[in-house]
Amino acid sequence: MNPLLYLLIIPGLTVAGITLVKDMKQVRLVAAVGMSLQLLWSFVLLYWFYQLRAAGHTEEMLFVSSTTWYEAFNIQYKFGVDGVSMAMILLTSIVTFAGIFASWQVAVLTREFFISLIILAGGVFGFFISLDLFTMFLFYEVAVIPMYLLIGIWGSGPKEYSAMKLTLMLMGGSALLMVGLLGIYFNSAPDGGPLTFDLTEIARIHIPRDAQLFFFPFTFVGFGILGALFPFHTWSPDGHASAPTAVSMLHAGVLMKLGGYGCFRVAMYLMPEAAHELAWIFLILTTISVVYGAFGAIWQKDLKYINAYSSVSHCGLVLFALLMMNETATTGAILQMISHGLMTALFFALIGMIYGRTHTRMIHEMGGLMKVIPFLSVVYVIAGLASLGLPGLSGFVAEMTIFVGSFQHTDTFHRVATLVAASSIVITAVYILRVVGVLLLGPVKNEHFHELKDALWFEKLSGVTLVVSIAAIGLAPLWLSNLIREPLGQMLHHLIN
């Protein structure tokens, strides 16, 4: 059997296990064991992947298998991975693992919560291993739908409103996407012959230019909404603010990456001519995203809003780099997805933990937390430093790769866009240090804060997992950068010519 399938089977079995056991403690134990196995399996796959590459398997995709799902429309369950999807799988399993421990104390409807969470994660895994556009879309929906329940039921604040808004906006994206995907499908055999949803097959043929120009915006915007493309990003602040901790972690950490991944793997890869012709429009939008998100974050007062706007800025950088369409910038984009995924998950985890203690997310109601909850505060500072691009942590590697890559374009338009985007490193420093200063440093503002307890073991485990991942990438980035870069040469060759 295809070893990739275990990435779906393990979550499946975990969900089954959760339905069988009795109480909350057993539920979370099963969830933890399942997601630990998933993490372990991801590393095994990575090792295996390296072994196969070393043994001279130079095919575009490894672990490829295909089963017919619906013959009439030529829909397949086709799975396979390359370096980019391998990296995304790794990210997903790390964030999911950390997310399980961050929701260790969910007491309301624990069973249903973990089931939804794991289904969501399973959808993401399915998306990243799919090579068939239809099944890819299917898994995408599997990942988006549980979000509604997770926010609507376990959320806080105006949760129904936020859940509805988020789901509707993402569904709007799906609708556009559906049009785009069908457009690709019906143009997948310009010379006659059977139509196909197979991604690698379509990449080999040439979709007529007119069709590309028509369907590219649908596909790109469809995925872009999930990737917080300006001006379709407003589901993000409200959605994140209302979502429970682990959901914010998974959503910002992983689900938003589906957007960037899809923009690249589907929209740009399959419709290269349109990508070239229309890139400038989206480049302007993403450049705005980067700076706009950062400026927006300065003025926010709620920790989750700050992080949501910061995500708009950082995810904007992902799409920005993809649109630069060269190997270095694209490597940077994928690195940024991983880096942002890890650090934003860490941020949301910490915000959840702090909120659980102080019962507020308003930064001005807090202060001096460093003294009372040093562990959480130090980790928050580390996350902040990663976010503002300190060398030795993952953000720096990603940003520098993006800027060096973008700078390879010599025309004024790309240069100006690059300079504007690069200026975000200063604005990021402003809002991060502002939060650190107000929230963590200074005198303790509230008498009651002296009674706060620092992180418990599962919170520490969650935080440390993410910090270690961030530092590992930041200190030794070469392996990851090579893993990502390896398939890009071929893909971009296709895109550029």
Partner 1 sequence: MDYAYTLWILTLPVAMFLTIGLSGDRLKSNAAGILGTAGLAVIAALSWFTAFSYFGSGLPESGFQPVIAAQTTWLAFTETLVIHLGILLDPLSVMMLVVITTVSLMVHIYSLGYMHGERGYNRYYAFLSLFTFSMLGLVVATNIFQMYIFWELVGVSSYLLIGFYYEKPSAVAAAKKAFIVTRFADLGFLIGILLLSFNTGTFDFAALNDMSGSAIAQPVTTVFMGLSVSTWAMLLIFMGGAGKSAMFPLHIWLPDAMEGPTPVSALIHAATMVVAGVYLVARLFPVYHFAAPDSLEVIAWVGSFTSLFAAVIACTQLDIKRVLAFSTLSQIGYMMVALGVSGYGDEGVGYMASLFHLFTHAFFKALLFLGAGSVIHAVHSNLMTDMGGLRKYMPLTHLTFLIACLTIAGVPPLSGFFSKDEILVAAFEHNKVIFAVQWFVAGLTAFYMFRLYFNIFWNSDPHYHHTPHESPPTMTGPLLFLAAASVLAGFVPFHDFVTTDGKPLETEFHTLVAVPSVLIGLAGIALAWWMYARKNSRPESVAQTLHGLYSAAFRKFYIDELYLFITHQLIFRFISRPVAWFDRHIVDGTMNLIGNTTVSVSVAIKKMQSGELQWYIWYFTSGVLVLTLILLYLN
Minimum distance of partner 1 from residue 283's CB (angstroms): 18
Is 437 a binding residue for partner 1 by CB under 8 A? The answer is: yes
H/E segment holding residue 182: helix 159-186
Is 445 a binding residue for partner 1 by CB under 8 A? The answer is: no
Using CA atoms, how far apart are residues 374 and 355, in angstroms rounded to an integer?
15
Using CA atoms, how far apart are residues 118 and 92, in angstroms rounded to an integer?
11
Is 434 a binding residue for partner 1 by CB under 8 A? The answer is: yes
Which residues touch 484 (CB under 8 Å, ≥6 apart)? 83, 84, 87, 331, 334, 335
Among 14, 358, 401, 469, interactor with partner 1 by CB under 8 A: 401
H/E segment holding residue 11: helix 6-20
Which residues touch 91 (CB under 8 Å, ≥6 apart)? 253, 254, 257, 337, 338, 341, 342
Provide the β-strand partners of residue 78: 66
- 235-274 mask for partner 1 (x: CB under 8 A)? x-xx------------------------------------
Among 190, 208, 356, 392, interactor with partner 1 by CB under 8 A: 392
Which residues touch 26 (CB under 8 Å, ≥6 apart)? none
Segment contacting partner 1 (CB under 8 A): 134-142, 336-344, 352-360, 425-433?
425-433
Nearer to partner 1, 18 or 466 (CB): 466
Using CA atoms, how far apart are residues 20 and 10, in angstroms rounded to an integer?
15
Is 295 a binding residue for partner 1 by CB under 8 A? The answer is: yes
Segment contacting partner 1 (CB under 8 A): 42-50, 77-85, 127-135, 162-170?
162-170
Is 12 a binding residue for partner 1 by CB under 8 A? The answer is: no
**Under DSSP, is residue 156 helix (H, G, I), strand (E, B) or coil?**
coil
Among 404, 452, 464, 471, interactor with partner 1 by CB under 8 A: 404
Is 296 a binding residue for partner 1 by CB under 8 A? The answer is: yes
Is 390 a binding residue for partner 1 by CB under 8 A? The answer is: yes
Which phi and psi (to 5°) does residue 445 adopt? -85, -30
Is 83 a binding residue for partner 1 by CB under 8 A? The answer is: no
Is 443 a binding residue for partner 1 by CB under 8 A? The answer is: yes
Using CA atoms, how far apart are residues 290 and 312, in angstroms rounded to an integer?
7
* Touching partner 1, residues 299-318 (CB under 8 A): 299-300, 309
Q: Burial of 182 by CB count in 10 Å (0-12 exposed, 13-18 middle, 19+ buried)?
A: middle
**Under DSSP, is residue 64 helix (H, G, I), strand (E, B) or coil?**
strand
Among 19, 51, 408, 490, interactor with partner 1 by CB under 8 A: 408
Is 423 a binding residue for partner 1 by CB under 8 A? The answer is: yes
Contact 245, 351 (CB under 8 A): yes
Using CA atoms, how far apart are residues 142 and 124, in angstroms rounded to an integer?
8
Is 422 a binding residue for partner 1 by CB under 8 A? The answer is: yes
Tell the residue number behind the tokens 């399996």, with chain if given.
Answer: 41
Is 430 a binding residue for partner 1 by CB under 8 A? The answer is: yes
Nearer to partner 1, 256 or 288 (CB): 288
Neighbours of 326 (CB within 10 A): 17
Minimum distance of partner 1 from residue 409's CB (angstroms): 10
Is 231 a binding residue for partner 1 by CB under 8 A? The answer is: yes
Is 396 a binding residue for partner 1 by CB under 8 A? The answer is: yes
List of residues contacting partner 1 (CB under 8 A):
165, 168-169, 230-231, 233-235, 237-238, 292, 295-296, 298-300, 309, 327-328, 368, 370-371, 385, 388-392, 396-397, 400-401, 403-405, 407-408, 418-419, 422-423, 425-426, 429-430, 433-434, 437, 440-444, 476-478, 481-482
